[in-house]
Every structure is written in C-alpha cells, then in structure tokens.
Amino acid sequence: MGIYVHIPFCASFCTYCGFYSEVCRHQPAHSAYIEALKREIALRKDFFCSSGPVRTLYFGGGTPSLLAPELMADICDALRAGFDLSQLEEFTVEVNPEDVVSAGGDAMLEGFKKLGVNRISMGVQSFCDQHLRFMNRRHTAASAVDAFKKLRAAGFGNISIDLIFGFAGLTDAEWRSTLGQAVALGPEHISAYQMSLDPNSALADMAAAGKYAEPADESCAAQYAMLQECLERHGWHQYEISNFAREGFHSRHNSAYWTRRPYLGLGAAAHSFDGDALRSWNPASIEEYMKAPGVPEGSETLSASDIFNEQVMLGLRTVRGVERKTIEAAPYVKGRPLSETAAGMVAEGLLEESGSCYRIPRSRLFVCDSIIERLFTD
C-alpha cells in the first residue's frame, strides 16, 4: 500500500505541464494548506482498514521542495500518527534543482534525511539551456548538475531524474548529448517522457494559436529508440514504457500503481484507489479542497470490463507484461475468444510470450497504445 501527498505549489509554470498546481511561494498559504492536509490525514486514517503497514510514501506536485522543512516535518508527524509507517520501504520526494542549490537547500536536504526520505526524484528534463528556457524551467543545465552532486554529497543513494524528448527543436544530437550527461551523472533511476499537448498546458495554447507544432511521430520514435539503446547499453534496465533503473532501484511506489495495489492520495487533486474497483478523487482546486479536506469530490466504481482493460493496459506498459491467464479468462470479444486475438497478435509480432505473460516487444513499446487497445473488452 502506498500514500501519495500532493503539494500543489510551484514557483512558476512549465510550458508543457498540465498537473494541478498554483504559482505560490507565500509561506502562510503553504501553512494553511498543510493544516487542511493534516485534517484530511486524520479523517482518512482508516482508508487501508487492517490491510497492514504502508510500504511507500511519495510527495509529488507541484513542487514539494518549495515547502519549508518544518512544514514537511509537520505533515510527516501527522502521517505517522495516522498510519503504520514502521515498515516504509521507500519514501520519495520530488525536487526542483533550483531549490536544491538555493540558499535553503542544505537545510532542506538535512530535513529530508531526518524525516527518513530515501529517494529523490528530480525534474531535470534537459541538459540544454535553450530547451530549459523553452520549457520555462527555473534551472539551468549547470544547476541541475550541481544539484545532483549536492544530493549525492548529502548522502542520497537513490536518485531518479526526469527527462523529456520528442519536442520541436530537439535534434537527435542534442538528445544524445542530454542522455550522455545523464549517463555521466549516474542516477539510479531515469524516467523519460515524450512531450505531449496536455490540454491544461501553455503548450496546448501555443499549438492552438499556431505557435507550436509537434514533431513528426517518426522523429519521436527515433529518439525513443535512442533512449532505449543508450540506457540499456549503460546498465539501466527498462521496466516500463517510460522508466529505466539500475538493478534493484525500480520505483516501488509507481510499480504499485501498475499492479493495481491500493493507494491513498492526499491533498488537492489527489486520486485514491482501494485496490479493487473503487476510485475517488479530491477537487483540483486548493480553495475547494480546503473547504472540506477529506471529502472526495467524486468517485467511480469500475465495472468488470473496466478492471480487465486496466489490467491489460497497465500490464502491457510494463516490460513484464500481462499474465496470459488474465487474457484467457476474458470474455469473448466480437464473438471471438480474446486468447485467439492475442495469439494472432503474437504471429504478427505485436506481442511476445515471456514466462507466464504476454508482453509487447521492446521495439514496439513506442506504439503500445495502438497494440493495447486491440485487447480491450467493451
């Protein structure tokens, strides 16, 4: 079981981002939000019933590294009072490089250590200043490198960095150079995402106004292949469409999402899942959230068909794949057993058998969505 805590504050907005967050560095506003979060924690302490201790904790955003260390400590005290964290295996905090190298960076990292944070996820996105400016990131390539070294010096032995490819203006040579810099730093984990037009992002507005055009699919596919080849060659194993890790350093928290284990999402816009069929979500507005923390804005009960489709989609996005028995137990689709469809897809080279699973060959992971939807039931 995992807990996700959403910190919906940023110092500025990144061009491509559609996550719910507000531009706010005002500490009284942060404190008021944390008070609401603590009320939600107290109200939802029975979310996991008696299913056992929490294994992973993840602070994401927004920008958790904007919070003052005492506010982070406050949240952790409340979490410890509400949940059994005695067997926590992974405690991740997302950070912005600029916050790590800022004047308050040392105190922040010291605070993280005291709280038991054992994994840092840092949004680097690129090691090219021109691209960082286009993305409206706060940091430079040099400050990202400095931040990484500072994290290491502070004793963090499990660091993940995020990178972005597949945007207009990124040449193959520049992408290769960013990958080379990532490899040289040697983080334990690398997540790499293709830039997309999130409807809530400034980039989508730019595209609608004719000021941005996405690169061709073939160019994005070529950069994805470069990513796979480069990281595999240097010892990072791909375990999901966007995620690569050194042996033993896969993200336990995110892996729980992909295997449909229960998680509790706390804070504005956070989603929760009971591990079976019930999902709920908090309002994507700090103002609305603070009116009634702990009262989800909505919920849905997944049908048997929704659950099956989710198992297939999440499973096939991982390198392990989806259990063959899951496909074999599925109902007929359009008058045909789904296992026959899957066997046909193996013959076409869209799926391969691996142990007890079907999986998508690595060379086809870039187009996995079109493959996965052929196995959806109605």
Smallest distance from the beta carbon of 266 to ligand SF4, in angstroms?
17
Q: Retrieve residue 292's tokens.
A: 């009634």
Residues 6+ apart with CB under 8 A from 292: none
Residue 194 as a binder of ligand SF4 (CB under 6 A): the answer is: no
**Residue count at the site for ligand SF4 (CB under 6 A)?**
11
Kindly tell me which residue out of 3, 5, 6, 63 binds ligand SF4, with binding defined by CB under 6 A: 63
**C-beta separation of 237 from 244 below 8 A:** yes
Smallest distance from the beta carbon of 163 to ligand SF4, in angstroms?
13
Residue 193 as a binder of ligand SF4 (CB under 6 A): the answer is: no
Q: Which stretch binds ligand SF4 (CB under 6 A): 8-16, 97-105, 300-308, 364-372?
A: 8-16
Smallest distance from the beta carbon of 9 to ligand SF4, in angstroms?
8
Shorter beta-carbon distance to ligand SF4: residue 62 or 105:
62
Residues 6+ apart with CB under 8 A from 125: 14, 131, 132, 135, 137, 162, 163, 164
* Residue carrying the six token digits 């926590």: 88
Rounded CA gap, 272 and 286, in Å? Answer: 17
- Concatenated DSSP letters for 308-321? HHHHHHHHHTBSS-
Residue 242 as a binder of ligand SF4 (CB under 6 A): the answer is: no
Q: Which stretch binds ligand SF4 (CB under 6 A): 11-19, 25-33, 81-89, 297-305?
A: 11-19
The 10 Å Cβ neighbour count of residue 308 is 20
Residues 6+ apart with CB under 8 A from 75: 5, 34, 37, 38, 41, 59
Smallest distance from the beta carbon of 15 to ligand SF4, in angstroms?
9
Smallest distance from the beta carbon of 20 to ligand SF4, in angstroms?
9
Rounded CA gap, 60 and 86, in Å? Answer: 21
Shorter beta-carbon distance to ligand SF4: residue 10 or 78:
10
CA angle (9 as vertex; 151, 253 as ends), nearest 5? 55
Residue 64 as a binder of ligand SF4 (CB under 6 A): the answer is: no
Residue 14 as a binder of ligand SF4 (CB under 6 A): the answer is: yes
Residue 13 as a binder of ligand SF4 (CB under 6 A): the answer is: yes
x/- track of binding to ligand SF4 for residues 114-143 (CB under 6 A): ---------x--------------------
Shorter beta-carbon distance to ligand SF4: residue 90 or 94:
94
CA 375 to mean position of chain CA atoms: 25
- Which value, in Å, is the radius of gyration of the alpha carbons in the chain? 21
Shorter beta-carbon distance to ligand SF4: residue 24 or 345:
24
Specify the pairing of strand 243-245 against strand 271-273.
unpaired
**C-beta separation of 84 from 14 below 8 A:** no
Q: Which stretch binds ligand SF4 (CB under 6 A): 58-66, 111-119, 252-260, 353-361?
A: 58-66
Residue 111 as a binder of ligand SF4 (CB under 6 A): the answer is: no
Kindly tell me which residue out of 33, 36, 62, 141 binds ligand SF4, with binding defined by CB under 6 A: 62
Shorter beta-carbon distance to ligand SF4: residue 19 or 257:
19
Ramachandran bin of 316, using left for φ above 0, alpha for ψ from -120 to 50, beta for the remaining angles: alpha
Residue 225's nearest CA partner among 126, 366, 367 is: 366
**C-beta separation of 151 from 106 below 8 A:** no
Distances from the Cα of 323 to the Cαs of 74, 339, 344, 355, 364, in angstroms? 42, 11, 17, 9, 19
Q: Which stretch binds ligand SF4 (CB under 6 A): 13-21, 35-43, 50-58, 205-213?
A: 13-21
Smallest distance from the beta carbon of 132 to ligand SF4, in angstroms?
11
Smallest distance from the beta carbon of 268 to ligand SF4, in angstroms?
13
Smallest distance from the beta carbon of 11 to ligand SF4, in angstroms?
7
Specify the pairing of strand 357-359 against strand 322-323.
antiparallel
Contacts with ligand SF4, residue ranges (CB under 6 A): 10, 13-14, 17, 19, 21, 61-63, 96, 123
